[in-house]
Amino acid sequence: MPSTTPTRTAVPPPKPRAGERVQNYWRQVTEGADLGQLWKQFSADARQSYALYSREVDWEALQSKSRFRRFFSATWAVFHSMLMKLSPARRVLLLAAMVLLIYPLPTMLLTNQVAVEAGLLKMFVLGSVLLFILLALELADRVTMKRDLEIAREIQHWLVPDNPPTVANADIAFATRPANTVSGDYYDVLPWPRSGQITAPENERWLIVVADVAGKSIPAALLMATFQASLHTLIGASEGLSDLLAGLNGYACAHSQGGRRFTTAFFAAYEPASRRLCYINAGHNAPILKRANGNFEPLNSTSLPLGIMAPDPSTGGFGETERLLDPGDTLVIYTDGLVEAVNAQGTEYGDDRMLAVLRAPGGLRASDLLHTLFNDVERFVGETHQQDDITCLVFEAL
């Protein structure tokens, strides 16, 4: 007699209750952020947006008006600045929406005539619909732009290293934080063998570079990409730092739009066998060389930024300079976004705060020192929106 196995019917999971669905949707909308975090984010965005729109307001001209007229004049000036950021068609749409929203309000609040209120209510609803349509159009543009920026960020991510290379007698760490989706900062540590020499540990040489293209976001990122391509093209044909910078500067001058699109950069050639460091500082923030005994030595600028003009050979050209590193010496190379980071009061982080972090007792690995420095900047800035790209490279001789 054949055996029969009872069929098990799959029991569907219970549907979440209405309250659970609301909580799940709220977590999806807020991405897990609490109300305090949301308010801080909104405040930072609001301050950034207000700074953008109020930049075009002539505040000095408003000072001569009375307080009442000054308020309405300033409000209109900020609104006009917002309006002119839109395309002509959307400007008309926003003006129509504002008229339909504002015009019915006094009558609706002061009269009891139902027929009049019904007609004005239709105008108010129509204005709300037009405003929603305008929001949808702007949001679609933002989504498209964000997608393009994400692609640009992925491409830019290929241009800089993920992890530092293994260099004899050295410990290296680097990190960058773009102000926007893409950055105008560049950093790298590249092998730079000399032509005609046998590849051997005693002949090993590395190129250390940190650069900052004037500006930020898309224009700076595009110039950073051309800088990276030029560097990788010229490094194989250049015997020394001066030759390399002459080629980079020539290209930069030809594409700098009259010197407006310049690049500050710090270049160093490091020889692990002798711990010899040759460097050129092309108008960049002076890196800090912290000696093992605790003394600080700034590596000041030796030439103009790239893209302004060719240096005068009679004055030393690019000013190539040499330092010998001892075990325990640490070189900190950074872009101006680090020391010029500002908090909510408009105070800059500054060199003194950075040096206070670097004065901490030795023994930290390069990555730990880098992490400590970035955390200190983040604590100082708080929720203030980052104004410029921040990049830092820490190089410790072992």
273 and 210 inside one domain: yes
93 and 206 inside one domain: no
- Of 101, 129, 155, which residue constitutes the final position of a domain? 155
- Of 101, 132, 155, which residue constitutes the final position of a domain? 155
CATH number at residue 182: 3.60.40.10
In a domain, 213, yes or no: yes
Nearest to 163 by CA among 397, 363, 378, 393: 393
Could you give the CA distance from residue 244 to residue 229 in angstroms, rounded to a whole number?
13
User: What was the pLDDT predicted at 65?
Assistant: 78
In a domain, 60, yes or no: yes
Most confident range, picked from 126-135, 178-187, 314-323? 126-135
Could you give the CA distance from residue 397 to residue 384 in angstroms, rounded to a whole number?
35
Instruction: Convert the pLDDT of each residue in 42-72 to its tens digit.
Output: 877 777 787 777 777 777 777 777 777 888 8
Torsion sign across C-alpha atoms 259, 386, 377, 176: negative
Largest CA distance in the chain: 109
290 and 317 inside one domain: yes
278 and 390 inside one domain: yes
The total number of structural domains that make up the chain: 2
Higher per-residue pLDDT: 80 or 265: 265
End-to-end alpha carbon distance in the chain: 83
In a domain, 40, yes or no: no
Nearest to 227 by CA among 164, 270, 184, 165: 184
Other Cβ atoms closer than 10 A to 86: 16
Task: Say yes or no to pLDDT of 115 above 60.
Answer: no
In a domain, 26, yes or no: no
In a domain, 88, yes or no: yes
In a domain, 253, yes or no: yes
- Tokens for 234, please give them: 């010229």
Which range marks the domain in which residue 337 is found? 163-397
Report the percentage of the chain scoring pLDDT > 90.
33
177 and 325 inside one domain: yes
Cα dist from 95 to 66, 83, 89, 136, whole Å: 27, 8, 10, 16
Task: Say yes or no to pLDDT of 199 above 70.
Answer: no
264 and 169 inside one domain: yes
- Of 96, 123, 155, which residue constitutes the final position of a domain? 155
Cβ within 8 Å of residue 149, ≥6 positions away: 180, 181, 182, 218
121 and 212 inside one domain: no
Report the percentage of the chain scoring pLDDT > 70.
88
Q: How confident is the model at residue 108 (pLDDT cuts 50, 70, 90)?
A: low
Question: What burial class does residue 158 get, using C-beta atoms within 10 Å of its C-beta: 0-12 exposed, 13-18 middle, 19+ buried?
Answer: exposed
Q: Mean pLDDT over residues 349-355, rounded?
A: 94
55 and 186 inside one domain: no
107 and 171 inside one domain: no
Q: How confident is the model at residue 258 (pLDDT cuts 50, 70, 90)?
A: low
Q: Give the CA angle between residues 370, 376, 377 to the nearest 5°.
A: 95
In a domain, 137, yes or no: yes
Residue with tokens 């004065």: 359
Task: Say yes or no to pLDDT of 194 above 70.
Answer: yes
Instruction: Convert the pLDDT of each residue in 276-323 to its tens digit.
Output: 999 999 999 999 999 998 899 999 998 989 988 876 665 567 889 999
In a domain, 1, yes or no: no
178 and 227 inside one domain: yes
196 and 219 inside one domain: yes
168 and 120 inside one domain: no
Is-contact 233 356, C-beta < 8 A?
no
Task: Say yes or no to pLDDT of 395 above 60.
Answer: yes
Could you give the CA distance from residue 104 to residue 122 in angstroms, rounded to a whole number?
9
